[in-house]
Amino acid sequence: MPSTPWTKPDTSTRPIAVIGGGVMGRRIAMMWIASGFTVILCEKALDYGAAVSYIQEHEAEQASKQGTEPAELKTTTSLQEAAGNAWMLIEAIPEKLEMKIELITELDKIAPPDCIIASNSSSLRTSQMIVNTEKNYRICNGHYYMPPDQTYFEVMSCGHTDPAIFPFLMEKATQAGFKPVHAQVDSTGLVFNRIWASLKREILLVLAEGVSDANTIDEMFKSWFKATKGPCLMMDTVGLDTVYNIEVVYSQQRQVDTTAMKWLKENYVDKGNLGAKAGKGLLG
């Protein structure tokens, strides 16, 4: 790969910016803050209440696990303010390609040349998002799961990412309490999500066909795999709208069966029963 203009940014004086304060964005922000990294949380809405409350409630406990002191949380509705001096931008908006293309394009224009732009997408590839960007050498996937409970962090190139970014980013992520994994080739779903997506799809089919109920599935899953949480609870936690959006991507790009996706939309998403955030989901 030809040399790029990317150089290691100063992480001691510059913030991380998280774009999107939803279920994942607030958890990602909390982990970095707890590890001593200043974070700017950027949301379109003026009310950051739920996201800020989550971060404030959990940062001290997470910091005590790591022996660190929490850094500062800042909030803004301005992309320019968030991105202007950041050393890393974390895109954490809904799993919709058009939205991500628009945001990544805008961030590429306003972020400093050494700023890493990392998409938290769990199914979409950043190679699909660089339609109108110029500084592709600093764009990559940086996918988190459900921190602080699940701390794996997957990184993947957009096809043009400077290779030096990966060891640098994985080192910083380790510092922040994550377990980094490098997906070596361009993949829809990165590493674990390809496996997890198949499990979720089959579980939704079991529910759709009336074979069993969510509580029974979770109890059996926990018993077999010695897990603390079952898959239906995990889907409810992340949001059934997010689960649905991910399935849409897989149906389009991997030509998987759409029966489970359609059932989820008709019986839950369209009715606003989106899981924990709505008070009703697969587990009732």
pLDDT digits (tens, 9 = 90+) for 129-174: 999 999 999 999 999 999 999 999 999 999 999 999 999 999 999 9
In a domain, 143, yes or no: yes
Query: What is the chain's mean pLDDT, rounded?
Result: 95
Specify whether the CB–CB gap between 233 and 218 falls below 8 A: yes
Residues 45 and 163 in one domain: yes
> What's the predicted TM-score (pTM) here?
0.88
Structural domain of 212: 193-275
Report the 3 state secondary structure along 129-189: CCCCCCCHHHEEEEEECCCCCCCEEEEEECCCCCCCHHHHHHHHHHHCCCEEEECCCCCCC
Residues 54 and 164 in one domain: yes
In a domain, 188, yes or no: no
Residues 202 and 138 in one domain: no
User: Tell me: the pLDDT tens digits for 221-245?
Assistant: 999 999 999 999 999 999 999 999 9
Q: Is the pLDDT of residue 2 over 80?
A: no
Task: Work out the number of other CB atoms within 10 angstroms of the CB of residue 212.
Answer: 12
Question: Which of 130, 149, 183 marks a domain boundary?
Answer: 183
- Is residue 3 very low, low, confident or very high in pLDDT (cuts 50, 70, 90)? confident
Residues 64 and 161 in one domain: yes
Residues 149 and 47 in one domain: yes
In a domain, 78, yes or no: yes
Is 1 exposed, middle or buried, given 0-12, 13-18 or 19+ CB atoms closer than 10 A?
exposed
